[in-house]
């Protein structure tokens, strides 16, 4: 193509630079491309005013990374402006590996990014959940003196906390000369996320002592942390304190408390708080609906309350949301209304796999296994891809209703036809299915074929089947297999002792106990929430009680039951 002299346009390099800067600022891709075309036809030397670098910045700011990369690759010696834009744009577009790659190139070429570059790179490390890369960037930032900036130190704390390395975040926190509210809030969030709410509360108190007032994010972090940790009493105490200090709880705060109550099986309190939220003028959102009052309805099993909530959802316009619809199906299923669940399912305009799974599970729970299987087949007909949960739902339905051959065929098809890896839950469903139908030898072979560590749910189902079918021989074989597989763990011994105890074979129980002591294999004692007159009751107390009962049986005592925890010390 013949190029025209720049003067024939009556334009100068500064004009192009100004236009590109304006396109960059306003993210105007089409005008930017027009300016690029004019530059190419003008025959202008692209080194003038680093025009290629400006083009990289323009394309990158507009999100056209293929064009930005094409122009970038034409630059022989890219300057820090072009490199910075490649780092920032790739990070903003979620291509975190590429962003860090361009940062490495920046270092190789002897350039140093600015403070903003480091902030973006640390967010990229969070996106990758890669603490190793984060530590390397931390080291470079420290060398360049950026870590002394409060904003960069805050970003480091945030990165380490979100990557689960709160101890590293604490070190950064301790070296900071100046801290702001964001600093304290990030550390508090970090400790709350790993369940150390006591440590978070200490920081919360220290923050106020140092003259900084917690903001809404800080309060929410504390309340969410306590609620997530199951400490509803602590969450309520903070909630009350927040209102006493004349701070208005926002939707995040209400959602945290309500969801925490539901997780703690306190549906009545959750509904009471939900009413308080509405009275205060706060409107519920998707989170409140899916994690709060719909699961609460399922806990109570109250159809009337469920319909009231459904009406509210309809008035709010949330019923068309696929996640809300799936939660409604689950709620109606738990309340015993298959018809209402079916109505919700039929009204979903575009169904996702979660809604199909919810309906299959609903049919299965209510003994409508044929409907479950028909729906499972419809998933394939409508081009949907079944997932692991789909197979748990359909296998559970077959197990509850005794459809052995159908269940086995579906189980075999998981890997062969769908390419889905079989998990513990799938094995547990099929073992239960075989045991309930009396096919104990097949169940035994299936447990032995399990490629992963055999969980207690599978072993428990098998032993229960052995007891019902009178197959003590298979139970003993399985118990010995478990001992071989778990010789370094107490679980195998406990399972075996429980089986013998349930069968009344106290001599064998005592033998297993001796084997456990000889191998120096003991379960770590856990703490229960049951209060004793003289203090806390430990699981080890229960174990000793179980041992005493065994001795009573051997000595012809009156006690006839064995503690469910077994005899593992």
Ranges assigned E (strand) in 306-431 = none
Residue 299 has pLDDT above 90, yes or no: no
CB atoms within 10 A of CB 13: 15
Beta bridge partners of 531: 536
Rounded to whole angstroms, the Cα distance separating 29 from 177 reads 44
Q: What is the mean pLDDT of the chain?
A: 81
Place of tokens 């009344």: 504
Q: How confident is the model at residue 45 (pLDDT cuts 50, 70, 90)?
A: low
Long-range contacts of 300-305 (CB under 8 A, 24+ apart): 300/267, 300/268, 301/334, 301/335, 301/336, 302/335, 303/335, 303/336, 303/337, 305/271
Mean pLDDT of 357-385: 91
What domains lie within the chain, and their CATH numbers? 351-402 (no CATH), 423-523 (1.25.40)
Query: Structure pTM?
Result: 0.59
Q: How confident is the model at residue 243 (pLDDT cuts 50, 70, 90)?
A: confident
Rounded to whole angstroms, the Cα distance separating 474 from 482 reads 12
Segment of 12-26, 43-57, 472-486, 488-502 carrying the highest mean pLDDT: 12-26
Question: Looking at residue 541, what is its pLDDT?
Answer: 41
Q: Closest by alpha carbon to 256, among 230, 294, 279, 276? A: 230
Rounded to whole angstroms, the Cα distance separating 399 from 430 reads 7
3-class state of residue 284 by DSSP? coil
Helix (H) or strand (E) run with residue 538 in it: strand 535-538
């Amino acid at each position: 193509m013949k190029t025209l002299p720049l003067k024939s346009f009556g334009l100068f390099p500064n004009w192009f630079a100004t236009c590109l800067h304006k396109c960059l600022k306003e993210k105007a891709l089409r005008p930017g491309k027009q300016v690029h075309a004019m530059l190419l036809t003008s025959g202008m030397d692209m080194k003038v005013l680093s025009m290629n670098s400006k083009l990289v910045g323009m394309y990158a700011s507009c999100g056209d990374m293929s064009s930005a990369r094409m122009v970038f690759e034409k630059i022989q010696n890219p300057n820090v402006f072009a490199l910075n834009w490649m780092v920032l744009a790739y990070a903003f577009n979620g291509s975190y590996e590429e962003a860090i790659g361009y940062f490495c190139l920046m270092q190789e070429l002897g350039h140093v990014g600015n403070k903003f570059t480091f902030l973006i790179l640390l967010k990229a490390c969070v996106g990758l959940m890669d603490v190793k890369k984060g530590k390397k960037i931390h080291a470079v930032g420290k060398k360049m003196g950026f870590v002394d900036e409060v904003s960069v130190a805050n970003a480091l704390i945030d990165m380490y906390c979100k990557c689960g390395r709160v101890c590293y975040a604490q070190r950064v926190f301790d070296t900071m000369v100046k801290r702001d509210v964001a600093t304290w809030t990030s550390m508090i969030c970090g400790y709350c996320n790993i369940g150390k709410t006591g440590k978070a509360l200490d920081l919360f108190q220290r923050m106020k002592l140092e003259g900084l007032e917690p903001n809404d994010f800080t309060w929410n972090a504390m309340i969410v942390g306590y609620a997530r940790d199951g400490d509803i009493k602590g969450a309520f105490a903070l909630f009350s304190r927040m209102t006493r200090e004349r701070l208005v709880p926002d939707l995040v705060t209400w959602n945290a408390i309500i969801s925490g109550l539901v997780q703690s099986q306190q549906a009545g309190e959750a509904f009471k708080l939900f009413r308080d939220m509405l009275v205060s003028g706060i409107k519920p959102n998707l989170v409140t609906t899916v994690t709060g009052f719909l699961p609460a309805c399922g806990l109570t099993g109250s159809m009337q309350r469920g319909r009231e909530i459904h009406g509210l959802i309809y008035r709010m316009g949330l019923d068309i949301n696929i996640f809300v619809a799936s939660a409604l199906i689950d709620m109606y299923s738990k309340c015993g209304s298959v018809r209402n669940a079916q109505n919700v399912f039929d009204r979903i305009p575009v169904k996702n796999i979660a809604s199909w799974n919810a309906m299959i599970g609903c049919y299965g729970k209510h003994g409508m296994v044929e409907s479950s299987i028909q729906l499972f087949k419809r998933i394939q007909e409508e081009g949907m891809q079944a997932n692991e949960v789909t197979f748990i739902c359909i296998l559970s339905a077959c197990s509850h209703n005794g459809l052995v051959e159908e269940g086995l065929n579906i189980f075999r098809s998981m890997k062969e036809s769908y390419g889905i890896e079989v998990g513990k839950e799938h094995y547990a469903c099929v073992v239960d299915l075989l045991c309930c139908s009396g096919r104990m030898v097949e169940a035994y072979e299936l447990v032995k074929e399990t490629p992963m560590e055999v969980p207690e749910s599978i072993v428990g189902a098998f032993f229960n089947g052995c007891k019902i079918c009178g197959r003590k021989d298979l139970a003993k074989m399985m118990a010995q297999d478990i001992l071989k597989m778990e010789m370094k763990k107490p679980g195998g011994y406990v399972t075996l002792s429980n089986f013998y105890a349930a069968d009344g074979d106290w001599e064998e129980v005592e033998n297993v106990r001796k084997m456990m002591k000889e191998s120096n294999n003991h379960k770590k004692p856990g703490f229960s929430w049951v209060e004793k007159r003289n203090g806390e009751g430990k699981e080890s107390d229960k174990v000793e009680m179980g041992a005493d009962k065994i001795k009573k049986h051997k000595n012809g005592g009156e006690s006839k039951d064995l503690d469910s925890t077994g005899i593992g010390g």
